[in-house]
């Protein structure tokens, strides 16, 4: 039993469970209740009940199992009180949901990525269900006002209910329609945690959640090389996580990271997974990104990276994903293959498309420093700082501006 005054500890635990296990719990309840809104309401009731009881009774051996069972009972009571829900209560009362498992998590993601939903709604709803992020946090990730995102989420949940979409892993012939959105969602879940995890245990757990979901998806769909490609990509990034922040929680860029802190065993496993995916002969953007990450992870040093191959992979990535951000990233490899001047020319050619993107200005600043043009570099770095929103990135840009201002 928890000691007196442990309400805050229980609240922290429940918050972590929501952040890391919401997708499994919602999946288990949704599969039994057949309704995402009811499942969400039931889980909310269970979390409130736990906050009342756990400080006195102690945390149960299986917290997620307790929450799912309690949520199911709360939902059943609610259905019995509703005239329209009495028949349904009879149907769902036969047995409580079991402990959430892999199928529950993936069924929730696949249901939320149903092709009947518009792509932005699929990704937003699945990110909400899979990560426990609030509407405000998702709105920030999508760069839209919070009320807009709240309406989008509400509309998507209503569509699921009205269409009678079942919470189950789809048949293999349905994968093609839903897999791109599923992959995108898992990638976003990982990034949300990985990019902001310097001082936040919750964010580190969210990044691990993305890695775990990607691995589960790759195991479920062994004939889909892009699922394996995503899993390898996230595993490669996560293997370097221990070196990404210093003891003050500040970002450490790749060229300055202590490679002794990298998880070499995880890197080798991810590389083997990627090689197996590539052998299937169906390259895609996640496999190509994983290939770039693998070249960085397997290199003995930043300077020893095979930059020619990195640049070639960015060319292939641009062919399947013609994004200006891909060309911006390629310019970093161009610096080491064709020189900083050529790289700056490539970056400047993207001005009309990326002038509002903080990393475009940050990349320009780095190249201008290399070319010994500090005054121009300072202007670019200051603009990067103005545009950055992520706290860890803002701190990094602020340091860069300070260094340039005090440069002799």
pLDDT tens digits along 37-64: 788 788 888 888 888 888 888 888 888 8
Mean pLDDT value across residues 356-381: 96
Clarify whether residues 209 and 273 are in a common domain: no
303 vs 209, higher pLDDT: 303
In a domain, residue 312? The reply is no
In a domain, residue 227? The reply is no
2 pLDDT above the threshold of 50: no
Buried b (16+ CB within 10 A) or exposed e, 248-268: eeebbeeeebeeeebbeebbe
Clarify whether residues 78 and 107 are in a common domain: no
Question: Percent of the chain beyond pLDDT 90?
Answer: 41
Banded pLDDT at 1 (limits 50, 70, 90): very low
In a domain, residue 332? The reply is yes
Mean pLDDT value across residues 135-148: 74
Compute, in degrees rounded to 10, the torsion defined by CA atoms 100, 102, 103, 106.
110
18 pLDDT above the threshold of 70: yes
In a domain, residue 85? The reply is yes
Task: Measure the CA–CA gap between 73 and 62, rounded to whole angstroms.
Answer: 17
Q: Is the full-model pTM beyond 0.85?
A: no
Residue 255, domain extent = 235-305
Domains held by the chain: number: 4
In a domain, residue 27? The reply is yes
Backbone phi, psi, residue 157, to 5°: -65, -40
Clarify whether residues 110 and 194 are in a common domain: yes
Mean confidence (pLDDT) of the chain: 84
Buried b (16+ CB within 10 A) or exposed e, 378-391: bbbbbbbbebbeee
SS3 readout for the chain: CCCCCCHHHHHHHHHHHHHHHHHHHHHHHHHHHCCHHHHHHHHHHHHHHHHHHHHHHCCCCCHHHHHHHHHHHHHHHHHHHCHHHHHHHHHHCCCCCCCCCHHHHHHHHHHHCCCCCCHHHHHHHHHHHHHCCCHHHHHHHHCCCHHHHHHHHHHHHHHHHHHCCCCCCCCHHHHHHHHHHHHHHHHHHHHHHHCCCCCCHHHHHHHHHHHHHHHHHHHHCCCCHHHHHHHHHHHHHHHCHHHCECCCCCECCHHHCCHHHCCHHHHHHHHHHHHHHHCCCCCCHHHHHHHHHHHHHHCCCCCCCCHHHHHHHHHHHHHHCCCHHHHHHHHHHHHHHCCHHHHHHHHHCCHHHHCCCHHHHHHHHHHHHHCCCHHHHHHHHHHHHHHCCCHHHHHHHHHHHHHHHCCC
Clarify whether residues 41 and 66 are in a common domain: yes
Clarify whether residues 2 and 16 are in a common domain: yes
Clarify whether residues 5 and 68 are in a common domain: yes
Clarify whether residues 1 and 91 are in a common domain: yes
Task: Measure the CA–CA gap between 113 and 122, rounded to whole angstroms.
Answer: 5
The HSE-up count of residue 334 (CA atoms within 13 Å, CB side) is 19
Query: Which of 88-97, 123-132, 236-245 holds the top average pLDDT?
Result: 236-245
User: What is the structure's pLDDT at 19?
Assistant: 67
4 pLDDT above the threshold of 80: no
In a domain, residue 244? The reply is yes
Clarify whether residues 90 and 109 are in a common domain: no
Clarify whether residues 106 and 217 are in a common domain: yes
User: What is the structure's pLDDT at 159?
Assistant: 84
269 pLDDT above the threshold of 80: yes
Banded pLDDT at 84 (limits 50, 70, 90): low
């Amino acid at each position: 039993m928890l000691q007196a005054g442990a309400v805050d500890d229980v609240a922290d635990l429940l918050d972590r469970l929501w952040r890391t296990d919401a997708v499994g719990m919602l999946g288990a309840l949704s599969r039994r209740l057949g309704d995402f809104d009811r499942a969400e309401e039931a889980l909310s009731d269970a979390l409130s009940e736990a906050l009342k009881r756990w400080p006195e009774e102690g945390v149960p051996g299986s917290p997620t199992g307790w929450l799912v069972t309690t949520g199911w009972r709360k939902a059943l009571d609610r259905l019995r009180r509703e005239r329209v829900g009495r028949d349904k209560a009879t149907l769902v009362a036969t047995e409580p949901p079991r402990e959430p498992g892999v199928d529950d998590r993936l069924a929730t993601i696949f249901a939320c990525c149903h092709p009947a939903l518009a792509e932005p709604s699929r990704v937003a709803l699945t990110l909400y269900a899979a990560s426990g992020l609030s509407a405000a946090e998702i709105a920030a990730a999508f760069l839209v006002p919070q009320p807009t995102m709240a309406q989008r989420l509400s509309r998507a949940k209503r569509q699921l209910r009205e269409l009678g979409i079942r919470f189950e892993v789809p048949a293999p012939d349905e994968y093609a329609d839903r897999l791109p959105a599923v992959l995108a969602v898992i990638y976003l879940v990982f990034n949300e945690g990985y990019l902001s995890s310097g001082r936040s245990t919750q964010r580190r757990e969210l990044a691990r959640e993305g890695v775990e979901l990607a691995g589960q998806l790759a195991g479920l769909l062994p004939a889909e090389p892009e699922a394996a490609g995503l899993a390898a990509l996230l595993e490669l990034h996560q293997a370097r996580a221990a070196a990404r922040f210093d003891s003050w929680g500040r970002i450490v860029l790749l060229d300055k990271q202590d490679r002794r802190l990298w998880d070499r065993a995880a890197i080798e496993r991810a590389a083997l997974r990627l090689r197996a995916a590539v052998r299937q002969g169906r390259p895609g953007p996640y496999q190509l990104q994983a290939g770039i990450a693998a070249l960085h992870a397997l290199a003995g040093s930043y300077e020893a990276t095979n930059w020619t191959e990195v640049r070639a992979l960015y060319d292939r990535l641009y062919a399947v994903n013609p994004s200006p951000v891909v060309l911006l990233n390629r310019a970093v490899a161009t610096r080491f293959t064709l020189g900083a001047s050529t790289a700056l020319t490539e970056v400047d050619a993207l001005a009309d498309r990326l002038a509002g993107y903080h990393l475009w200005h940050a990349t320009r600043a780095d190249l201008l420093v290399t070319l010994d043009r500090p005054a121009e570099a300072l202007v670019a770095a200051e603009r990067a700082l103005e545009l950055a929103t992520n706290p860890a990135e803002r701190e990094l840009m602020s340091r860069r501006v300070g260094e340039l201002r005090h440069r002799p």
